[in-house]
Structure formats: C-alpha cells, structure tokens
Amino acid sequence: MGVQINFYPVAANIARFRLAFAQFLPIFLNDVLIICQESKPLEFLPMSENNVRLTAARRGFTLVELLVVIAIIGILVGLLLPAVQAAREAARRMQCSNNLKQQGLAIHMHHDAHKYFPPGGFNPWGSVGSWATHILPFVEQASLANQNINKNVDILRYQGGPTIFFCPSRRGSVAVNSQGGRYLMDYASATPADAPNSWDQFWFGDTWGMDWVRANYRGVIVRGGVDALGVWRGGKSKMSNITDGTSNTIVVGEKQLNPIRYRTGDWHDDAGWADGWDPDVVRYTGFAPNSDKRYDNQGGWEGYRFGSAHNDGMNILLADGSVRYMPFTIDPLVFNRLGLRDDGSIIPDDF
C-alpha cells in the first residue's frame, strides 16, 4: 500500500473559489459597463493651463470607483486565501507523510540488517536510546550516530535533530533553549493497551527500574535493548511476531502536542528524539487520538496520546512500510487493535 494523501479539502476550496468567481464576474463586468455608460465623454477644450488641469482631473478615478475597486480586490483575496492556506497545509501534510515513509524504510532496513525491529529502550532519559537513535545509520545520519562514542545517547539530543523527526505543520529541526538546547520530536512508536482506556500497559508499573523486563509488550517496537554490559534486556520484536498482518499494525504515528508549547517543549516533550522508553518517543494506542487544536488538561493522559496539527486526522506508519492518513474519529477499539500485533482481530479496510 503506497502513500495515500487526501487532497479533497484543497480541491473543494478551489472549486468554491471558481464558482464564486464565475458568479461574481458577470456582476463586476455589468457594473463596469454601467459606470462607463454613465461617464461623460472627454471634452476637447482650448489648450490653457486651467483646461489642462481640468482635463487631467476628469481622467482620474472618482472616490466611488476607487472604493469599488478596493472592495473587489478584498473580495477576491478573501475568496482565494482559504484555498491558498489549504494548499499549503496539503503540502505540509505530504511532507509529514514522506517523513514517516523514510522512517518506515529505515525501520525495515534495520530489521533486514539485524533480524529484529529497532528496540524501544529501557527508561526515560535512558543512555541506550530508543528506536529513533537505532535507525540513524539508515537515514543517512551515521555521522550523528557516531557522536555516541561513550555509549550514551544523551550527547546526541544536543547535536542535532534529523528533519524527518519534525512535522512541518508544527515546527522545524531547531534546538529548544528552554529545554537545555535539546532537539525534540514529533513522532512516536506505538505501544498498545489490553483494551481501550486500560492502564497500565505502558510502564507495567515500573518507570525507572528494570522490573518490567518480563512484561509482555505487544507492539511492533517493544521496550528493550542492549545494556551497558552488552546484554540484551527486555523484549525483541521480529516480523514473524506480527501475526495480525503488517498492513493492519501501526509502528509509528504523530504525537499530540500543545500548540502553545511547540517552541518550548512540555513534560512529555522535553527529552528529545534521543530519549529512551518515554512519551517523548512512544505513545499509547489505549487512548483515542486527538487534534492538537483540542489539546487540554486531561489529567496527565494527554502526554500519552497520538494526534497531530492537521485538520481532521493524523499520519500513521504501518508495519508494511505504507503511510495512511487516519481520521480522529476512528473507533477507539479499532485504534487500539491497530497497535496490537497479535490479537487476531479483524481490522476494517476503511479505518
């Protein structure tokens, strides 16, 4: 399945503009014709200084004519502006989709090279990083990955932020001073709940320790990785584990963020793209996705939701490498099932 981009909002705005313009043009031409018919013809007067001034004055616009022209220009701009804004948002959404497509290719290349999907890391602010740090060599960022000479990814979050980690509808790759100069993140891997609104299959009761290592994480990217001694801890996910079908399982999607904190970060948007297992780079399909425009205080759960700055939905990367635009109105049960790789549930094609 390839990238699917819905250009309906742009086409609809352009169609409305053309219809309005077609209806307005005859009226405009008729008004011009009336003005021309009512205008007096130019009189050729004997040449004198006073007559030259009078003739020049008669050739200028009247105040009414000027106001009519200004009004017409204002109407045309008002009709055209929504279509232009919609076209720009469609272009930004396409770039966001391409970002996920590149991440998907990198994740598949990691699987081809290592025979498992990139791990999700251990804990917040962890030194081993997460899926985003592990795909760096596969997105032409090997030079950035090589900065991790002490096997501690903390240095990376200050060195740069690959542009594919940022949705152009929100922000670009810029160091955030209020977060110590770290580069943040607009995307997150998906980890599922046992059922919608079920808690806690995100931490399994252990945020900072290592008691979670025997927990059954059932997403494509799972909590785990290699520790400082070179020992694998936690889960390891492979293509063969996705028994629900790769076209029915989410790998990565857009995060819900607070629009007024795009440039400053938030409690769930502070550690940056080189984080460990943390809402900065992992989100929970147990909660329904939501628009950034509807962000509010949800008792702390807002930091675990998926969402986007787009008008009516968000881009998601599926395990087969395809990208789809998913509406916010998706059934929460279906959304959580998309996060589960092996529950055996049937996913409708039109989700």
pLDDT tens digits, one per residue of 201-258: 999 999 999 999 999 999 999 999 999 889 999 999 999 999 999 999 999 999 999 9
Record the tokens describing residue 244, joined without a space.
Answer: 């629900």
d(CA 333, CA 116): 28
71: confidence class by pLDDT, cuts 50, 70, 90:
confident
150: confidence class by pLDDT, cuts 50, 70, 90:
confident
Residue type, 132: A
User: Rounded to the nearest 5°, which phi and psi values hold at 253?
Assistant: -150, 180
Residue type, 336: N
Long-range Cβ pairs for the range 77-83 (8 Å, 24+): 79/16, 79/17, 79/20, 79/21, 80/17, 82/13, 82/17, 83/10, 83/13, 83/14, 83/16, 83/17
- pLDDT, greater one: 197 or 26: 197
80: confidence class by pLDDT, cuts 50, 70, 90:
confident
Is it the case that residue 178 has pLDDT exceeding 50?
Answer: yes
Q: Residue 288 has what DSSP assignment? A: -
Tokens 């059932």 correspond to 218
Is it the case that residue 268 has pLDDT exceeding 50?
Answer: yes
20: confidence class by pLDDT, cuts 50, 70, 90:
low
Instruction: Please give the pLDDT value at position 350.
Output: 84
Instruction: Please give the pLDDT value at position 6.
Output: 46
Contact 124, 276 (CB under 8 A): yes
Max mean pLDDT range (52-61, 140-149, 254-263, 340-349): 254-263
Is it the case that residue 123 has pLDDT exceeding 60?
Answer: yes
What's the chain's Rg over C-alpha atoms?
A: 28
The pLDDT of 148-157, averaged and rounded, is: 88
Contact 341, 241 (CB under 8 A): yes
Contact 184, 156 (CB under 8 A): no
Is it the case that residue 32 has pLDDT exceeding 50?
Answer: no
Instruction: Please give the pLDDT value at position 12.
Output: 52
List pLDDT tens digits, range 277-297. Answer: 999 999 999 999 999 999 987
Record the tokens describing residue 93, joined without a space.
Answer: 């959404």
The burial class, CB within 10 Å (0-12 / 13-18 / 19+), for 300 is exposed
117: confidence class by pLDDT, cuts 50, 70, 90:
very high
CA distances from 278 to 31, 188, 238, 335 (A): 64, 9, 21, 20
CA distances from 138 to 59, 68, 123, 295 (A): 69, 59, 24, 33
3-state secondary structure of 32: helix
Instruction: Please give the pLDDT value at position 151.
Output: 84
**DSSP assignments along 260-276, one per residue:** GGTTT-BTTBSS-TT-S
Listed in sequence order, the residues at least 6 apart from 103 whose beta carbon sits closer than 8 Å to its beta carbon are 135, 139, 164, 187, 252, 317
Instruction: Please give the pLDDT value at position 228.
Output: 85
Contact 250, 220 (CB under 8 A): yes
Instruction: Please give the pLDDT value at position 39.
Output: 47
Contact 179, 264 (CB under 8 A): yes
84: confidence class by pLDDT, cuts 50, 70, 90:
confident
Instruction: Please give the pLDDT value at position 27.
Output: 59
76: confidence class by pLDDT, cuts 50, 70, 90:
confident
Nearest to 119 by CA among 36, 28, 48, 224: 224
Tokens 């293509």 correspond to 239
Helix (H) or strand (E) segment spanning residue 174? none
The pLDDT of 55-76, averaged and rounded, is: 75
Whole-number percent of the chain with pLDDT over 90:
68
pLDDT-wise least confident of 58-67, 251-260, 317-326, 336-345: 58-67
Q: Which residues pair with 266 in a beta bridge?
A: 269
Instruction: Please give the pLDDT value at position 60.
Output: 63
Residue type, 250: I
